Structure 1
Amino acid sequence: MKSITIKGSERESVGKKATKALRNAGQVPCVVYGGEKPLHFSADELAFRDLVYTPNAHTVKVDLGEGKLRAIMQDIQFHPVTDKIMHIDFYQLFDDKEVTMNIPVQLEGNSPGVRNGGRLLFRKRKLAIKALPDKLPDFFNVDLSKLKIGDNITVESLLNDDFSILHPDNTVVVQVKTARAAVVIDDEDEEGEGEEGATAEGAEAPAAEGGEN
């Protein structure tokens, strides 16, 4: 998995007054858990841009000058009015210790079901997994090229020995449902079809992640 380096400074004072002063100076107070004791540090808000404002998943290298450690973002708090980053919690990574992380799902290819008028429903845009840090994937790649009307792709087809997916095997990730204008054709007719039609990105895909955290 790709990593982003965050350069910051260790915090000696963690009281409300010191935290407020940091925020007024454009710094984000952070805590890294998982080690022998919590590590408090701060970094410029702009340093978190590529980590926070992206659909991709990344690990983090926290660079405090004298030492570096690997971590993943666990929780983030935004200001309710300005949406500025108020606080971030991280969890330290160790080579021999599994970690839980949400991994994004990416769709590729054209669905025959969508070309025939079906509706593409993207049920799980992220999947929670448990793995050793070096086994964390950047994303799940889901191929739509054989997805006909009435078909679906479940977690079972994405299982891998490198990690555990923390959802039941029958959890639907993406499916094509019948629409009023849908045309159901057999395999022979489908083979003669051209490549015109909606792609995954152009299909109707309402967010319905079903209680995802």
Structure 2
Amino acid sequence: MKSITIEGQLRTEMGKKATRQLRSQELVPGVIYGGAKEITFVASAKALRPIVYTPEFMQAEIQVDGSTYQCILKDLQFDRVSDELLHIDFLELVEDKKVVATLPLHLTGTSVGVKAGGKLVTKMKSLKVKAFPKDLKESITVDVTNLELNGNIRVQDVVAGNMEILNSPRIPIASVVMTRQLKQEEATAPKAGAAAPKAAAPKK
């Protein structure tokens, strides 16, 4: 799993005035929770950018006041007007404690339905899982090779190793649908078993 290092500083002053001052220095307040104690810290907006603005799932090694915390991103708060990052929450990874995380889905293969002229439609881009930190992965791979025309791959079809998938099992992840061209071809094609047109009787 990919990992980035973030250097932070313990946050000593609270309140709106202190928060405004931090943001004027392009610092973002954050919290690390889930471990032995809650850590309140600040880090530069630039240092946080790689984990905030990416679809990838990664681990953050946060260094604060001489201590290092292995974490995953849990929550973000943005300004509604400026879209500026206002606050960030991290969940500390504890070896013997399961965590809930959202992992991106990665579809592989070319489905038989697509080869038959259909179109692959992705309906979910991520899954929510519960697992021990050692079992977390960058993504969940789903092979769509055997997905047929008008078929679906559902959450219940996904093999996720030691991770428990929390999404409803019947939700479709991907499907292959007919294209307009294929529908037209099927509509104009002669139906199997249809009688051939009779030849006109010769005139006497």
Greater Rg by CA: 2
Structure 1's 111 and 160: CA in aligned 2 closer, same or farther, altered over 3 A?
closer
Counterpart Cα distance in 2 of 1:144 and 1:60: 31
How far off its partner does 1:37 sit? 3.5
The equivalent residue for 1:150 is 150
AA in 1 matched with 2:95: D
Residue pair 2:10, 2:65 contacting (<8 A) in 1 also? no
> 1:129 maps to what in 2?
129
Q: Note the C-alpha offset of 1:170.
A: 2.7
Is 1:94 the counterpart of 2:94 in the alignment? yes
Give the direction of change, closer, same or farther, for the CA distance of 1:143–1:178 in structure 2 (3 Å limit): same
Structure 2 length-normalised TM? 0.83
Q: Deviations over 1:180-212 (max 9, x none)?
A: 322799xxxxxxxxxxxxxxxxxxxxxxxxxxx
Residue 130 of structure 1: CA displacement?
Answer: 0.1
1:35, 1:163 → 2: CA distance?
Answer: 21
| Aligned twin of 1:53 | 53
Matched-pair contact (CA < 8 Å) for 2:5–2:63: yes
Asked if structure 2 preserves the Cα contact closer than 8 Å seen for 1:124 and 1:174, the reply is: yes
Distance 1:128 1:171 in 2: 13
Aligned to 2:15: 15
Higher relative contact order (CA 8 A, sep 6+): 1
How far did residue 120 of structure 1 move?
1.9
The alpha-carbon deviation at position 161 of structure 1 amounts to: 4.0
| Matches of 1:68 and 1:30, distance apart in 2 | 15
- Alpha-carbon contact 1:159-1:165 (below 8 Å) kept: no
Quote the residue 1:114 is aligned against: 114
Alpha carbons 2:154, 2:173 under 8 Å: kept: yes
Q: Deviation of residue 65 (structure 1)?
A: 4.2
Does 1:76 pair with 2:72?
A: no
SS in 1 for 2:86: strand
For 1:66 and 1:84, the matched residues in 2 are separated by 29
In the TM superposition, what are the counterparts of 1:172-211 in structure 2 within 5 Å? 172-182=172-182
Gaps of 5+ in 2: 187-204
Maintained 8 Å contact 2:105/2:127: yes
Q: Per-residue displacement from partner, 1:129-183 (whole Å, max 9, x unpaired)? A: 0000110011011222222211221222323341100023332111112233227
Distance in 2 between the 1:117 and 1:81 partners? 45
Q: Compute the displacement of 1:14 (Å).
A: 1.8
Q: Distance in 2 between matches of 1:39 and 1:54?
A: 24
Q: Percent identity?
A: 37
> Aligned equivalents of 2:102 and 2:182: distance in 1?
34
Structure 1 residues 144 and 161: CA distance shift in structure 2, 3 A:
closer
Alpha carbons 2:70, 2:93 under 8 Å: kept: yes
User: Match for 2:124: what amino acid?
Assistant: K
Q: How far apart are the structure 2 equivalents of 1:72 and 1:26?
A: 22
Alpha-carbon deviation of 1:118? 2.0
Looking at structure 1, the residues matched to 83 and 58 of structure 2 have their Cα atoms a distance apart, in angstroms, of 21
Structure 2 residue identity aligned to 1:162:
N
| Matching residue of 2:197 | none
Q: CA RMSD in A?
A: 1.9
